[in-house]
Every structure is written in C-alpha cells, then in structure tokens.
Amino acid sequence: MRKRTLGLSSTCLLLLVLAPDCGAMEGPADGSADAPSETSAPCLAGSFGAPAPIAELNTSLDERGLRFATGELTAVFSRGGTSAGRPDKTTGIYMATRSSLTEAFGGPFAATYQAGEVYPSLTGNAGSLFFELDCYWQTSGPGTLCLITSEPDAGFFNGPIPVFSPPLLNAGPFGAGRTAGDGFVTPGGGAYYLAYSPYQYQDDGGFQSDGGGPLDSIYVIHTVDPPMFGPPLDPVYVPADATMVVDNPVLTADELTMYLSATSAQGPVPHVYVASRSKVDDPFGSLRPLHELDSAEGEYPSWISADGCRLYITRTVSGQRDLYVATRSP
C-alpha cells in the first residue's frame, strides 16, 4: 500500500512547471561524480561577505539546512521545534520557490509528513527528495536516509522508503539520533556524504568499537541498487585531531571541494571549514577555516552554488536556528 505524503498534492504540479522532467531519477548510479550543472565556477576562491538572513524563510521556529534543485529556484529546508538542541517531532521538510536568483522566495509549503524530518536533499530535477528520519517500509525494513519520489501523472510524492541503513542503529550524535547522518546527497542521487561513527553508543554513555575505523569522520557511500545506498562506507576525511568532530558535509557539483562544520576541544562552537582534493577517488586534504562566517553561537554549511558564489548556511542566534546566505565575487 502506498502512502500519500501530506501537503504535496500540488507540489509536483508546481515542480512540473519549474522542472518538466519531474519524477525521473537522474544522474549516474555507478558511484561516479555527478556532472556539474554549469560549465564554469568563477567564485572558487576568495572570502565570502557577511552572511545575510533569508528573511522570508525564517520564523520564530528553527529553520535548518537550506538546499536546492538545479538553478537554485526550488528550495527545501526543515522547520520546526527543538528539544534538547535537536529537531522535535513537529519538524518537517518545507519547499519554496522563486522566479530568479534576485527575487525573494514565495511562501514555503509543507512537503512531507511532519515527524522529525531533517537534512533534505533534492535531485537536480526536483523529482526525488531525500531526507533523514527513522523511516520504515514493509519491503526494505528500517533506515535513516529516506526517499520520496514524484509521480507526475498522480501529482504527488510517493513514500517515504528507507534507502540507507547504517551498520549500527544505537543512539549517536548524528542525523536522526543515530551513528550516521547529517548528510548530503549529490544532485544526481548517486552519492551520499555523511558524518559517521563506527562505534556503538551504549545507554550508559560509553561506547564500544566495532573495529570499523576512526571515530566521527566524513564518509561517502554510493548507490548499489538504485536508489538503494549500501556498503562499503569509505572515509573521505579523517580529522588529524582526535578531539575534532566533523559534521554537515556539503559538496560542490564536481565533488572536489567540501564544506563542513567542525568542533574540537579547543573550539567547541561549530564553524565552517573547507577542504579540497584533485580527484573524486582521493581523500580530502587539510581543512581551512572560513573565519569570515564565524558567529558567537556557531553555524554550518548547507549548500554551495554551482558557480561557487553563494554559500548557504544555518546559523544559531540567541538559541534559534535560521537560514543565511554569504556571497563572494569572481
């Protein structure tokens, strides 16, 4: 039996105007990098300006993790309450559109059931929406990365179905309260970059190693039976500082530059860093801080534009999380 997602009876009809191929899963399924949507990226270097709030999307609730389909005209993000610093069960994925990059977004509308969904990622054609949650499906069991896909003829999104189940499902620091999450699915739907801990957290607050590798690093997994993601989990960035926790990876279209947030014993407030590599199969090099984005209560990246000129971030101010954008010139 299929589930009809609340609030989306008109969503795909709207997306069909913006993306005529709505509903088709695009991009490679063999783990290769998704092709950049634009041929040039003129803003790959230089400092960003001061982040500006995206006022039309921010409310008295927490808004987090703004991301886009190709062209940056269709956006998704999560909105809801917070309990002990984490999204509560009122949090859901919202969608908003704009007619051009210089225009304000129209009023956001609910795109999913509201039950704690966070970290949305759209495929480039806006036909598939990934998000993190404890999701279940009668044929594939539980998972922490969920997928809903559009059916243009029916005019609604189907699902959700779980498309990734981490090896360990005990409570941990990431995502939907698990040992894996806070991730980013590439626009083609072929790769999932995420924070992952190969340690099993215990109810008493301790942990035991499963022998899987370093704690709290950035990993990538690929689709093995599209749209299902599966093992192995491969680290792409391992902190040299054992006290550092890296989180919230965001990749450029060619997957050669990664933005993320990090904390350490010396810096407990999360701030934005960037790392690069020369080939998709290589690990990322050392982190470089982007101090021009720093704020007193911290921030993390959620999207980098195809031209490299706009970095979208979630920033905490007076305990509330809101959406911001920082720009730089070629």
Residue 250 has pLDDT above 80, yes or no: yes
Q: How many other CB atoms are found less than 10 A from the CB of residue 175?
A: 24
Q: How many other CB atoms are found less than 10 A from the CB of residue 138?
A: 7
| Residue 167: predicted pLDDT | 65
What average pLDDT does range 231-252 have in this prediction? 89
Residues 32-44 have pLDDT tens digits of: 444 444 446 789 7
What average pLDDT does range 210-228 have in this prediction? 76
| Residue 25: predicted pLDDT | 39
| Residue 134: predicted pLDDT | 77
Lowest mean per-residue pLDDT among 35-49, 74-88, 234-248, 261-275? 35-49
Q: How far apart are alpha carbons 327 and 311 in whole angstroms?
A: 6
- Quick one: which H or E segment has residue 14? helix 11-18
Q: How far apart are alpha carbons 291 and 272 in whole angstroms?
A: 8
Whether this prediction's pTM lies above 0.75 is answered by yes
Residues 90-105 have pLDDT tens digits of: 899 999 999 999 999 9
Q: Looking at mean pLDDT, say which of 59-63, 155-159, 263-267 comes out highest.
A: 59-63
pLDDT band at 317 (very low <50, low <70, confident <90, very high): very high
Alpha carbon of 2 to those of 92, 156, 309: distances in Å? 20, 11, 41
Residue 28 has pLDDT above 90, yes or no: no
Phi and psi (nearest 5°) for 16?
A: -65, -30
| Residue 7: predicted pLDDT | 37
Q: What is the dihedral of CA 245, 237, 62, 142, to 10 degrees?
A: -100
DSSP character for 280?
Answer: T
Q: Count the alpha carbons within 13 Å of 100 in the hemisphere toward its beta carbon.
A: 2
Q: How many other CB atoms are found less than 10 A from the CB of residue 51?
A: 21
Residues 161-196 have pLDDT tens digits of: 888 877 654 445 555 545 788 999 999 999 999 998
| Residue 153: predicted pLDDT | 47
Mean pLDDT of the chain: 80
What average pLDDT does range 207-217 have in this prediction? 53
**In percent, how much of the chain has pLDDT > 90?**
52
Q: Answer yes or no: are the C-beta atoms of 261 and 239 closer than 8 Å.
A: no
Output the CATH code of domain 11-327: 2.115.10
